[in-house]
Amino acid sequence: MNIVVCVKQVPDTATERKLRSDDKTLDRDAADGVVNELDEYAVEEALRLKEAHGGEVTVLSMGPAKATETIRKALAMGADKAVHLSDDALRGSDALSTSYALAETLKKIGFDLVILGSESTDARTGVLAAMLAERLGTPQLTLANKVEVDGSAIAIQRVTDYGYDKVEASLPAVVSVVEKINEPRYPSFKGIMAAKKKPVETLAIGDAEISADQVGLASAWSEVVDFAAAPPRAAGTVVKDEGDGGVKAAEFLASKKFV
Amino acid sequence: MSEILVLVEHADGDVKKVTLELLTLARSLGEPSAVWAGPGYTDAAKAKLAEYGAGKIYVAESEEIAGYVVAPKAELLAKLVSDASPAAVLVAATAEGKEIAGRLAIKTDSGVITDAVGLGEGFVADQSIFGGGVNVRSRVTKGTPIVAVRPNSTAPVAEPGAGAEEKVEIALSDAARGAKVVERVKQERGARPELTEAAIVVSGGRGVGSGENFSIIEKLADSLGAAVGASRAATDAGWYPHQFQVGQTGKTVSPQLYVAAGISGAIQHRAGMQTSKTIVVINKDSEAPIFEIADFGVVGDLFQVVPQLTEEIEKRK
Ligand SMILES: Cc1cc2nc3c(=O)[nH]c(=O)nc-3n(C[C@H](O)[C@H](O)[C@H](O)COP(=O)(O)OP(=O)(O)OC[C@H]3O[C@@H](n4cnc5c(N)ncnc54)[C@H](O)[C@@H]3O)c2cc1C
C-alpha cells in the first residue's frame, strides 16, 4: 500500500504567535516551528498500517525551506521518503490554494491512501482533508479514531457529537485522524540517524504542474481585513475557600442571574 | 433583499439552536432561506424555521443525503448556490459543518471562512485566533461567501418569515457516494444539552481524579441545566468520553457561563473556551493560569467546593 502522510510545520503553540503587520499572514519567524501535533498521529497511523499490510510511507509537506526539520522528524519516526513542496509562490496560500497544490502533487506522486491530522494548530480550519477528498474525487474518511484496511476495503470510526459513525469505503481514500487514535512513537536514535539518509525530493510548483495563479497570497479566496490583539479580560474576583467557597460561588452565580 | 442560505442542523427532527442563531444573523444581512438536508423533516421543524425568519425552506429529504459522509450535503448546497445565486451561505462551525463548507467552496469556486464569531456588513467575519489572543476580521474575496459560524455567536431572536417550502430533488454523483455510513453509534451521557450549544458548560480536568468522580461534575451541571465538558487530561485518562473534550483538539464552546473545576488552563484548553461570557474557576492551586481568565475563582479543593456549590444552587431553586 502506498501511503502518503501530509505533515505541516506550525509555530509552537507554547510560544507567542503573531500575524505580520505588512501582509497579515502568519509570522513564521516569530515562533519556533514544530510538527503540527496532530500530524504525528497521522504518521503513526501510516506506520502501523504499513507494518500490518506492507507498502511504503511517503511524507508530503508544503512549506518554506525550514519545514525540512519537520520532514526529518517524520522520517525519523519511520517514514520511508519525503516530498517537500516548496516555492515562494506558495507563501500566503489559504485552505483552497493549499488543497489545490497538495492535490496536484498527490496526483503526480500517486497514492492508495492519504492520511492527515484532523486540523493544524495554527490555522485550525479543519477543512483540508475534506477539500482534498473533494479535489481528488476520493472517499472522505475524516475525523477517524480507528482505521482498518482489508485489501482494497477501508473502514473507519468517525467521531461525531453523539459518539461515532462506522464508515466504509474503498481505496484510494483520504483519511484524517483525531488524537485518540494511537500513541505516536518517539523517534529512536537509530531512526534519527537513518532519517538523514532518506530521500527528500523538493518540488517547485512547476514540477507538480501547479499553476501560479491558483496559489499564494495574491490568489487567495479570502483576505484578512484587519486584526488586533484581543483586549485582556477584566480581572475577576478570586477567593480562598474557608469552608464557604461553594456558597460564595453560588452567590456570584446568583448575582449574574445563573441561579 | 438578497437571499442567504442557512444549512439547518437537526437531530431527531428537531432544529438545533445554532440554526436559529444563524437565521437571526442572516436576517441582519439579507433574507434567510433554510436548507434542510436529509430525512426527519416535520411540521414542527418547518414552524420553527419560519418562526425565526426563514423566507424559504428548501427541503431535500432523501435518505441518501445522510447516508454518506459530508459530500452529499456539499453537493446539495452547490446545486442551490447555482440555482438561486444567494449572497452568502452560512453553516454552523461544527467539525462537520466546516467540512461541508470546505467542499462547497471548491465546488462553487468560492472563498470560505471558518469559525466566525460574528458577521457584519459586506459579510466581514470576526474570528478569534491563536487561542483567543488575536481578533481578526476577514472576508471572502471570490465567489459566494461561505461562512461557518460558531454556535453561541448570536442570541436567537424570533421574527417570523414566510417559510415557503420548496422540495429539492438531487441526484448524487458517484463521488459523493464514496464513504458510506453503515452504523451510527450513540454514546450519550444522560439528557444534557449538547456541549457546543449549551448556555452553560461545567468542565472537569485532571483534578477530578477518576471517572467515578465525574459524577460530582455531572451533579453540578445538572443543577444548572448545563452540559458537561472535560479537559484533554481527563479524556486521555478515559474518565470521560472524547466527544466531550473542550479545547484546541476538542470542541470549541462559547457559552454564557463556563465552570472549570480541576483544570489548569493550558493554552490548548483555553483555545476552546476563552470566548465564554462568564468564567468561574475552582482549583486548589492559586497559581493555575486558568485564574487569569476567571471572572470568579475559588482557590480550594473541588471535592469540597463543587458539592457545596451544587447544594447551594439546589437550595436557591
Ligand atoms: C496539540 C495539542 C492539543 C491539545 N488539545 C487540548 C484540548 O483540546 N483540550 C485540553 O483540555 N487540552 C488539550 N491539550 C493538552 C493541554 O496542553 C493540557 O495538557 C491539558 O489541558 C491539561 O488538562 P488539565 O488542566 O485537566 O490537567 P492539569 O494541567 O494537570 O491540571 C490539573 C489542575 O487540577 C488542579 N487540581 C488537582 N486536584 C485538585 C482538587 N482536588 N481540587 C481542585 N483543583 C485540583 C491542579 O491544581 C491543576 O491546576 C492539547 C495539547 C496539545 C499539545
Per-residue pLDDT of chain A (259 residues; tens, 9 = 90+): 999 999 999 888 777 777 888 887 877 777 778 889 999 999 999 999 999 999 999 999 999 999 999 999 999 999 999 999 999 999 989 999 999 999 999 999 999 999 999 988 887 889 999 999 999 999 999 999 999 999 999 999 999 988 899 999 999 999 999 999 999 999 999 999 999 999 999 999 999 999 999 999 888 999 999 999 988 888 899 999 999 999 999 999 999 999 9
Buried b (16+ CB within 10 A) or exposed e, B188-213: eeeebbbbbbbbbbbbbbbbbbeeeb
The SS3 assignment for B281 reads strand
> Taking the domains of chain B in order of start, what are their residue ranges?
3-177, 200-316
What single DSSP character describes residue B244? G
| Digit-coded pLDDT (tens) for A33-76 | 888 999 999 999 999 999 999 999 999 999 999 999 999 999 99
Residue A121, φ and ψ in degrees, nearest 5: -80, -10
> Which residue's alpha carbon is at the smallest distance from atom 49 of ligand 1?
B264
Q: Which CATH class is domain B3-177?
A: alpha beta
pLDDT of residue B80: 98
- A114 Cα to the center of ligand 1, angstroms: 32
> What is the distance between the alpha carbons of residues A193 and A181, in angstroms, rounded to a whole number?
27
Interface A–B counts its CB contacts (< 8 A) at: 284
Q: How many domains does chain A have?
A: 1
Q: Which atom of ligand 1 is nearest to the CA of B249?
A: 8
What single DSSP character describes residue B131? T
Contact B276, B258 (CB under 8 A): yes
Buried b (16+ CB within 10 A) or exposed e, A7-38: bbbbbebeeebbbeeeebebebeebebbbbbb
Nearest chain A alpha carbon to B266? A14
Peptide bond before A172: cis, by omega within 30 degrees of 0?
yes
Tell me if B196 CB under 6 Å of ligand 1. no
With a cut of 70, which residues of chain B have pLDDT below it? 1
> What is the distance between the alpha carbons of residues A174 and A142, in angstroms, rounded to a whole number?
7
Residue B274, φ and ψ in degrees, nearest 5: -65, -25
Tell me if B248 CB under 6 Å of ligand 1. yes
> What is the distance between the alpha carbons of residues A127 and B175, in angstroms, rounded to a whole number?
18
Contact A53, A37 (CB under 8 A): no
As a CATH number, domain B200-316 is 3.40.50.1220
Burial of B304 (0-12, 13-18, 19+ CB in 10 A): middle
> What is the distance between the alpha carbons of residues B57 and B84, in angstroms, rounded to a whole number?
13
Q: How far apart are the first and last CA of chain B?
A: 46
The domain that holds A59 is classified in CATH as 3.40.50.620
Say if A85 falls within a structural domain: yes
Residue in B71, B141, B305 nearest the CB of A245: B305
Tell me if B301 CB under 6 Å of ligand 1. yes
> What is the distance between the alpha carbons of residues A207 and B143, in angstroms, rounded to a whole number?
29
* Cα angle B240-B245-B247, degrees, rounded to a multiple of 5: 155
**Binding-site positions of B for FAD:** 206, 231-232, 245-249, 262-269, 283
Residue A21, φ and ψ in degrees, nearest 5: -75, -25
Contact A141, A169 (CB under 8 A): yes
| Residue type present at position B275 | T
Cell of B136: 481578526
> Which residue's alpha carbon is at the smallest distance from atom 7 of ligand 1?
B247
Among candidates A255, A245, A258, which has minimal Cα distance to B317?
A258
Say if A56 falls within a structural domain: yes
Among candidates B140, B195, B216, B159, which has minimal Cα distance to A96?
B140
Cell of A2: 502506498
User: Residue ranges of the alpha helices (H) in chain B?
Assistant: 17-27, 43-51, 63-67, 71-84, 95-108, 214-224, 232-236, 267-270, 302-316
**CA atoms within 13 Å, Cβ hemisphere of B267:** 13
Cα-based distances in Å from A240 to B202, B274, B291, B308: 20, 23, 12, 14
Q: How many of the other CB atoms lie within 10 Å of CB of A55?
A: 17
Please give the ipTM for the structure prediction. 0.94
The SS3 assignment for B183 reads strand
Sign, Cα dihedral of A205, A201, A110, A6: negative
- Domain range enclosing A106: 2-219
> What is the distance between the alpha carbons of residues B175 and A134, in angstroms, rounded to a whole number?
8
Asked if B304 is an interface residue toward chain A (Cβ–Cβ < 8 A), one would say yes
Say if A237 falls within a structural domain: no
Contact assignment for B136 to A227 by CB distance below 8 Å = yes
Say if A224 falls within a structural domain: no
Q: What is the pTM of this model?
A: 0.93
